[in-house]
Amino acid sequence: MSDTIFALATARGKAGIAVVRVSGPLALDAAAALGICQLPTRRGVLRKLMIGDELLDTALVLFFEAGASFTGEKAVEFQVHGSEAVVSALLQFLTGLPGLRLAEPGEFTRRALENGMLDLTQVEALADLIDAETEAQRRQAQRVLSGGLGQRAAVWRKDLVRAGALIEATIDFADEDIPVDVIPEVCDIVDRLLRSFSAEIEGSRSSERVRAGFEVAIVGAPNVGKSSLLNALVGRDVAITSAVAGTTRDVIEVRMDLGGLPVTLLDTAGLREATDEIERIGVERARERARLADLTVLLLEPGDVESDAEADIIVWGKADLAPGPNTVSGLSGQGLDWLVEEIRTRLQRRVSGSGLLIRDRHRSALMMASESMASARRSLYDINPSLELVAADLRTASHALDILVGKIGVEALLDEIFSSFCIGK
């Protein structure tokens, strides 16, 4: 029998309400120790929490039976007033009850995984949802948390089981006349799975960028107004501005929510042939970060002709002095709305093709399955196909899907994953 654990499930500090969660076989005993008996299931009731003859607090109490709670175990939640004194007294009382202990970081979620309430992709999505800073990150995490990736993996696995059964039957009865040639059906399944895997892998890079954030580099010659533009975009002074060329020596990074997308803006050193050693290093870093960025904004001086340099968006600065199309000003704010919308639109196009694979682990597992499908396809289309090799490839692909949803092969990852969760989640 597992331990009964408890923890504060809401943030510490003064608040209107605080939630203390108890999960495990002794959850109802903990409620009874506070003078609460005969709790209805999944319905909040107002009860007085008593420690002996003393009133601790009046709380909304909810009971979830095993199989219907977040963890899959019996669970009781106490929604008390968010006073530090009330919460401290309740936690201290629970600590003194036999068979109860304070939960470790992520232990509630770990029990949900172990009890089959969540698969590993949902656990990871829950962590991403908690960390979400923008609307795009929230939506993406919710898609996976709702079970989208696990459901798709179940469909893929069903097809693999069907194809594997057909191949194994053909191998087992090789000496007998099988009335139906199963190879065309297996080929159809393999081709369909390969297309589906490839589509998800292709969309995974956009999904990972939504999770980690896009990088947008502002590049241009020295003293063209890059730092002023960065300050105007983020709404505060984060970069030093000066009339002296070469003021920015290193890459300055600022993370912001741009139209619901997580974006890190990069202010880079002015691009020129530098004689100063420190500035030369800054220019080299600027060129490298611009090359690796998801989007590059090239800022030119008014009157400059369009540069041959590679850039996604070309704008002319100092619009307060020389207004015109595609011009911006970090001083007056002219053209900033246009530039923000242009950046957002271009990044949104990339997001539109994103899939359900939001972590490198997901992509690696599906790439393993895809490579196995490709190998099976080559074997099936040989003049003399080796069905034993096809069967082995199908088993490898099925194994990869089990890794994807956390059924096997991820034990070493679990401690690292759950260590990022707070106590109470």
Residues annotated within a binding site for (6S)-5-formyl-5,6,7,8-tetrahydrofolate:
21, 77, 117, 425
Coil vs helix vs strand at 319: coil
As annotated, the binding site for K(+) includes 223, 242, 244, 247
What is the rounded CA–CA span in Å between residue 265 and residue 252?
8
Q: Whats the size of the chain, residue-wise?
A: 425
Residue owning tokens 């300050």: 231
What is the rounded CA–CA span in Å between residue 294 and residue 208?
12
CA distances from 330 to 213, 223, 232 (A): 24, 12, 5
Q: Are strands 252-258 and 214-220 parallel, antiparallel or unpaired?
A: unpaired
Q: Helix H segments across 57-119?
A: 84-95, 107-114
Beta strands, E only, 221-366: 252-258, 261-267, 295-300, 313-316
For residues 75 and 63, the answer to whether their CB atoms sit within 8 Å is yes
Question: What φ, ψ does residue 229 adopt, rounded to 5°?
Answer: -65, -45
Coil vs helix vs strand at 87: helix
Using the 8-state DSSP alphabet, how is residue 332 labeled?
T
Q: Which tokens in the block code for residue 58? A: 């009046």
For residues 22 and 15, the answer to whether their CB atoms sit within 8 Å is no
What is the rounded CA–CA span in Å between residue 146 and residue 82?
30
As annotated, the binding site for GTP includes 223-228, 242-248, 267-270
As annotated, the binding site includes 21, 77, 117, 223-228, 242-248, 267-270, 425
As annotated, the binding site for Mg(2+) includes 227, 248
CA distances from 152 to 14, 23, 405 (A): 43, 30, 10
For residues 253 and 265, the answer to whether their CB atoms sit within 8 Å is yes
CA distances from 371 to 147, 171, 275, 285, 410 (A): 25, 23, 50, 37, 20
